[in-house]
């Protein structure tokens, strides 16, 4: 089977001496929560922006079900790949429902507004994200947790097979962090391919089906959480201040985690 989303030898360089991506390969499977971690400046966000089609890679290519991105129009790409941005530079001055309907754009016939069917899809997307109660509120009135859910709902209303999620738990309280990851995990297990970029090594350990560690624009490891969340793998990249442990996960079995901890040096689970 062809992967819904794949990258081959992806390179990207911002103006300046240090390239952001130096040949990243990646294959995302259906029904999988794929989490990309890495220190600041490791290239995770650049990778996500390339996968989203917002940056044109300077080398290599992104393939959507085998078709290179540069053969697709923005509309065709949006039908298959939805992006949940970390935040929006400006919050639109509209009701939540209208905002979520923005996700239907790629489905609309040109010159035609959203239909009743589109409104139904937007409502279902909001319900799936436990946000149907805020449909009539205005976007700029929402709390951080609600806003994140509404952004995910808008991506869901796009009905794309691939969800790209950028740092979804930044500025959320612990309860909302857990609930957002639980939602993303649920969506993945319903059949979507979900790619999440995050700094959170505890939530990654708890929910990720596969982890990819990046450093200096390259992939260090790509594998199970048990393989990646170990002192031997993370220590050289993140430094000594991590505490490792494991707890019973959402599915029952033990799941590893790593926590930032100043006096953690030398600790072993």
Which listed residue (82, 197, 208, 213) binds other proteins by CB under 8 A? 82
Is residue 163 within the footprint of other proteins (CB under 8 A)?
no
In angstroms, the CA 269 to CA 257 distance is 10
Provide the b/e sequence for 200-232 (b: ≥16 CB within 10 Å): bbbbbbbbbbbbbbbbbbebbbbeebeebbbbe
- Contact window for other proteins (CB under 8 A) among 25-33, 39-47, 94-102, 207-215: 94-102
Residues 166 to 205: which contact other proteins by CB under 8 A?
none
Which listed residue (52, 125, 129, 142) binds other proteins by CB under 8 A? 52
Give least dist CB 89 to other proteins, A: 4
Cβ-proximal residues to 150 (8 Å cutoff; 6+ apart), any chain: 96, 99, 100, 126, 129, 131, 134, 139, 142
- Contact window for other proteins (CB under 8 A) among 26-34, 37-45, 86-94, 126-134: 86-94
Is residue 158 within the footprint of other proteins (CB under 8 A)?
yes
Nearer to other proteins, 132 or 209 (CB): 132
CA separation (Å) from 134 to 143, 179, 239? 11, 17, 42
Long-range contacts of residues 232-240, Cβ cutoff 8 Å, at least 24 apart: 234/201, 234/258, 237/38, 237/39, 237/213, 238/39, 240/264, 240/265, 240/266
Is residue 103 within the footprint of other proteins (CB under 8 A)?
yes
Binding-site string for other proteins from residue 111 to residue 150, where x marks contact by CB under 8 A and - marks none? x-xxx--xx-------------------------------
In angstroms, the CA 55 to CA 59 distance is 11
Which listed residue (77, 149, 192, 255) binds other proteins by CB under 8 A? 77
Is residue 106 within the footprint of other proteins (CB under 8 A)?
yes
Is residue 213 within the footprint of other proteins (CB under 8 A)?
no
Give least dist CB 88 to other proteins, A: 4
Residues that bind other proteins (CB under 8 A): 52-54, 73-75, 77-79, 81-83, 85, 88-94, 98, 101-103, 105-106, 108, 110-111, 113-115, 118-119, 158
């Amino acid at each position: 089977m062809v992967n819904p989303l794949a990258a081959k030898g992806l390179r990207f360089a911002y103006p300046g001496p240090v390239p952001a991506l130096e040949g990243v390969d990646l294959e995302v499977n259906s029904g999988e929560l794929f989490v990309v971690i890495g220190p600041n400046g490791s290239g995770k966000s650049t990778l996500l922006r390339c996968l989203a089609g917002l940056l044109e890679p300077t080398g290599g290519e992104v393939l959507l079900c085998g078709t290179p991105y540069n053969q697709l129009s923005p509309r065709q790409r949006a039908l298959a790949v939805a992006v949940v941005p970390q935040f929006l530079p400006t919050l639109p001055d509209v009701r939540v429902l209208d905002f979520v309907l923005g996700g239907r754009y790629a489905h609309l016939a040109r010159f035609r507004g959203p239909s009743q069917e589109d409104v139904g899809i937007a409502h279902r997307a909001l319900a799936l994200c436990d946000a149907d109660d805020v449909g009539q509120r205005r976007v700029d009135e929402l709390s951080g947790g609600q806003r994140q859910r509404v952004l995910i709902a808008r991506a869901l209303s796009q009905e794309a097979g691939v969800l790209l999620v950028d740092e979804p738990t930044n500025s959320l309280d612990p309860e909302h962090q857990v609930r957002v990851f639980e939602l993303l995990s649920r969506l993945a297990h319903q059949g979507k391919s979900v790619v999440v970029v995050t700094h959170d090594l505890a939530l990654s350990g708890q929910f990720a089906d596969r982890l990819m560690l990046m450093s200096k624009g390259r992939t260090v490891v790509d594998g199970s959480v048990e393989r990646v969340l170990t002192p031997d793998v993370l220590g050289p990249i993140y430094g000594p201040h991590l505490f490792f442990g494991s707890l019973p996960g959402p599915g029952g079995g033990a799941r590893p985690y790593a926590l930032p901890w100043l006096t953690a040096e030398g600790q072993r689970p």
